[in-house]
Structure 1
Amino acid sequence: MERTRRRLAAVMCADVAHYSRLMETDEDGTLGRLKAYREVMSGLTERHNGRIVNTWGDAVIIEFASVIEAVQCAVDIQTDLSLRNADLPQATRMEFRIGINLGDIMVEGNDIYGDGVNVAARLQEIAPVGGILLSQSVFDQVRNKLALGFESLGPQKVHNVSEPVDAYAIRLGGKNEPWVPLGTNPRLEAEAPVPPPVMGQRLESGVDQARAWLRRQPKRVRSSVLMIGFFFLLNILTTGLSPLWFVWPSLPFIFLLAWSLLLGKGSSQKDMETRPLD
């Protein structure tokens, strides 16, 4: 019996949105289009040094040794298929959702298993139609190396994963529409109306986004924010909001925070301008 091995890999999971509806409308046409689109995906996967691990139904799992190649391949797939769909009636367009994760996987024969695969599959399930979602581990590797736009979605609760997954959406083709979660059902056939968030939900979302932002910052930024927050809390507990004396002991940390953010912004812009695509 072959021994199970482990390795770090980038895993892409993709499947067709509204596949059941397409099959119900035109089985032969849908199946033929699926085969043609899979040939496109196979060619792009080979070009980016990936390996198609498995296909079943309308889904596909692809493994990459390079996370940058995985993301570039996903972008190429969505761009190519979007051009092909543009010539088709809306009702017959075949659009994929894609999720990508970088993690430890178990390898047995030609198959792969483990949380590294599960997270990619769950991100694919909540990805927008025709879009790509990345895990935090993928985003950390590509954010300053690829000339792409990203949208932080904060922690996402996904099916069969105990901890929330920090997710990032790639903006494709200059699109600026906000990401709208489709739930965790990959066979969801219609988007339900999304009610406007109540004040408590807005506050919770803002806190989650602030935490996610703070976790991505260097240590000096986190320390400055915590010290400013400490003096503000001490101000409230001792004298209330009048007077606001916390500003004075916080000044060194405010200057350090502003300097660090300006320096980080300048470095990121310089990387985006001078670093070529891998």
Structure 2
Amino acid sequence: MTDQTADIRRKLTTVFCADVQGYSALVERDEVGTVTRLKQYRDIMVDLIGRHHGRLINTWGDGLVAEFGSPVEAVFCAVETQRRLAARNAEEPLAPPMQFRIGINLGDVIIEGTDIYGEGVNIAARLESLAEAGGICISGAVFEQVRKKLDIGFDFLGDREIKNSAEPVSAYRVLLGGVQVGTAPKHQMPQQPAATDDAEAAFIKWRRFAWRFAVIAAFLMIVNLITSPRYFWFIWPWLGMGLVLMLRWPAGIDPRRLWPSRRE
């Protein structure tokens, strides 16, 4: 027993777990399209993990595990990931959104080759399951390390029981709306959106509504040109739909968002 214990290597690290909310339902609806989008979204996440000095540990199904030497970098990465993926969902208004849940924990893990195991990983996975779709949930250990360093807010969710863990773990939800809690170095902070999360969500909803109107408008024009090409009656419903879209434009969103800059 002593020899086996001596062979076990441990370290303190920040564990980052993510999976897709409602992945089975998405696959059932469109298997090929969902798998294709999952790969694209995961590529975005893996790229951000590398940029924030993290290391991808493993992927399986719709899940992903990574580790970071710094809790601050892990949370930076999670925030930027959720914002990038939300923007990507907005680019595909006709497809159901693919939203990830992210859990982050700072804890002791067992190292085996390139993989990690143990309570530190189990807690991160449990926190991931507590996160809302498109959200981030962190442990109290991570919160203590980042609360004075990040320009974001946190909501205490209480102490949660963890399977195979002797003690409950404090859980915090990251508020992506941007309640100021300290200041991080400017070169490290992901860019903050100009609008609030509520306004951004309203704009995404408006775009989906506009796409539906565009399909209806195209259908009406085709019917008009086939049935009565000398009289363009389709203009009148077009004007009505345009007025509705104008009235439903979300407050707080710059109209120039309709013509985004080509510059990255």
TM range (shorter): 0.5 to 0.7
Q: Corresponding residue for 2:262? A: none
Select 1:120's aligned residue among 117, 120, 124: 124
Is 1:272 aligned to residue 182 of structure 2? yes
In the alignment, which of 116, 136, 140 is matched to residue 136 of structure 1?
140
Shift of 1:90: 7.1
Q: What residue identity is the alignment partner of 2:154? A: F
Q: In structure 2, how many angstroms separate the alpha carbons of the residues matched to 1:154 and 1:91?
A: 35
1:21 aligned residue? 25
2:93 pairs with 1:99: no
1:50-73 residue CA offsets vs partner (Å, 9 max, x unmatched): 011010000000011111111100
For 1:120 and 1:41, the matched residues in 2 are separated by 17
Work out whether residues 3 and 108 of structure 1, in 8 Å CA contact, stay in contact via their aligned partners in 2. no
- Distance, in Å, in 2 between the alignment partners of 1:103 and 1:272 is 24
Query: Distance between the aligned counterparts of 2:33 and 2:95, measured in 1?
Result: 12
- Name the amino acid aligned to 1:74: A
Q: Does 1:169 align with 2:173?
A: yes
Which residue of the partner structure matches residue 149 of structure 1?
Answer: 153
- The separation in 1 between residues aligned to 2:105 and 2:38, in whole angstroms, is 24
Structure-1 separation of matches of 2:54 and 2:114: 13
Count of aligned pairs: 183
Any idea what SS the aligned residue of 1:36 has?
A: helix
- 8 Å CA contact retained: 1:12, 1:99: yes
SS state at 2:155 partner = strand
TM-score using structure 1 length? 0.62
* 1:84 equivalent in structure 2: 88
Aligned twin of 2:74 = 70
**RMSD after superposition:** 2.2
Distance in 2, Cα, partners of 1:159 & 1:4: 22
Give the letter aligned to residue 109 of structure 1.
G
Distance 1:36 1:4 in 2: 36
Cα distance in 1 for partners of 2:91, 2:9 equals 45
Letter in 2 for 1:8: L
CA offsets per residue over residues 71-102 of structure 1, 9 Å max, x none? 10011110100101123347621100000000
Q: Distance in 2 between matches of 1:161 and 1:89?
A: 42
Check the 8 A contact 1:7/1:105 in 2, yes or no: yes
> Deviations 1:84-128 (Å, cap 9, x if unpaired)?
112334762110000000011111101101111110000001111
Q: Distance in 2 between matches of 1:30 and 1:125?
A: 21
In structure 2, the residue matched to 1:258 is none
Asked whether the equivalents of residues 58 and 66 of structure 2 are also in contact (C-alpha less than 8 Å), the reply is yes
- Partner Cα distance (1:18, 1:33) in 2: 14
Deviation at 1:159, TM superposition (A): 3.6
After superposition, give the CA deviation of every residue in 1:5-51 in whole Å (9 maximum; x if it has no partner).
11110000000000000000000100000000111011101101101
The Cα shift of 1:153 comes to 1.1
In the alignment, structure 1 segments of 5+ residues that lack a partner are 177-268
Which secondary structure does the structure 1 equivalent of 2:165 belong to? coil
Q: Deviations over 1:175-215 (max 9, x none)?
A: x9xxxxxxxxxxxxxxxxxxxxxxxxxxxxxxxxxxxxxxx
CA contact (8 A) 2:147 2:182 kept: no
Gaps of 5+ in 2: 189-264
Displacement over 6 Å in runs of 4+: none
Report the counterpart of residue 54 of structure 1 in structure 2: 58
Distance 2:23 2:148 in 1: 35
The residue aligned with 1:234 is: none
